[in-house]
Amino acid sequence: MKRWNQRNIWKSLGFTQFEDSLFNHNFKKELFKSFLIILFWTLLLIFGKFIRFKSGLYNNILFDIVFTSIFVGIAEELLFRVWLFEELKLFLSTNKAIFLQSFLFSMVHPYNFGEGLTINILIKIGLFLLGIYLNLLRINNYPNIFPSIAFHGGIVGYIFLAKSIFNIQGNYPVLIYGNQYDNFINPVSGLIGIFTLSILNIDQIKRLKNSS
């Protein structure tokens, strides 16, 4: 695509070398990283006795997990970290494009009227930090988008898996773990999730500085 100074955007993104992109070290690393994050968060909830195992699982659990993680991972990464980011870079510096892309990413997720202002602010902060991380991840693997898809899709898929296995049990510290969303807990909106994303962003910023 000449507009973005790339002759074959699909090849650059990794889609024409699909097998290599899926088995790429960074793809597997981000998928495993997302698993460890959700596992650690889930174990904290279990040890705190805030969730418990369900008595049974429904038949379509695997299909729902795979479909949700792939759809969200691919669709949102192509929209925000590829199209929007590349368009913003035509008019803004890279840093400003990252910031604005992440801000818009957090804003398009709807305001939760069932929660107070504090929780909604934490949700927006968490989504903003997630948007920054996914954008930095793409830049550090530029222009391949698959590591970002792996982390984003992994987070969504593993949360969906936890939701399918566990039930929320009683009250829990919402500010620490995150608000309830779709009959489970959204870790991005909790202080644990925000702290984790902050650490991940620091690591990506260091990598970016070392490579420049």
Predicted pLDDT of residue 4: 60
74 pLDDT higher than 60: yes
Cβ neighbours of residue 35 closer than 8 Å, sequence gap 6 or more: 154, 158
Predicted pLDDT of residue 5: 64
Task: Compute the C-alpha angle 21/22/23, nearest 5°.
Answer: 95
- Does 1 fall in a domain? no
Q: What does the H/E/C string look like for 46-110? A: HHCCCEEECCCCCCCHHHHHHHHHHHHHHHHHHHHHHHHHHHHHCCCCHHHHHHHHHHHHHHHCC
> In this predicted structure, which of 16-25, 53-62, 95-104 has the lowest mean pLDDT?
16-25
- Does 5 fall in a domain? no
Residue-range definition of the domain harbouring residue 166: 60-211
Q: Which residues pair with 164 in a beta bridge?
A: none
45 pLDDT higher than 70: yes
Say if residues 111 and 120 touch (Cβ distance below 8 Å): yes
Predicted pLDDT of residue 19: 55
- Does 22 fall in a domain? no
- Does 143 fall in a domain? yes
- The pLDDT tens digits of the residues spanning 137-183 come to 999 987 788 899 999 999 999 998 898 889 998 889 999 999 988 78
Tell me what the mean pLDDT of segment 28-52 comes to. 95
- Does 11 fall in a domain? no
- Does 13 fall in a domain? no
- The pLDDT tens digits of the residues spanning 24-37 come to 788 899 999 999 99
Predicted pLDDT of residue 61: 75
- Does 55 fall in a domain? no
Tell me what the mean pLDDT of segment 61-83 comes to. 86
115 pLDDT higher than 80: yes
> In this predicted structure, which of 8-12, 49-53, 65-69, 96-100 has the lowest mean pLDDT?
8-12
Tell me what the mean pLDDT of segment 117-128 comes to. 95
212 pLDDT higher than 80: no
Say if residues 151 and 30 touch (Cβ distance below 8 Å): yes
Number of domains in the chain: 1
Tell me what the mean pLDDT of segment 71-100 comes to. 92
Distances, alpha carbon 125 to alpha carbons 2, 56, 129, 178, 187, in Å: 34, 35, 6, 12, 12
pLDDT: is 18 or 142 the higher one?
142
- Does 30 fall in a domain? no
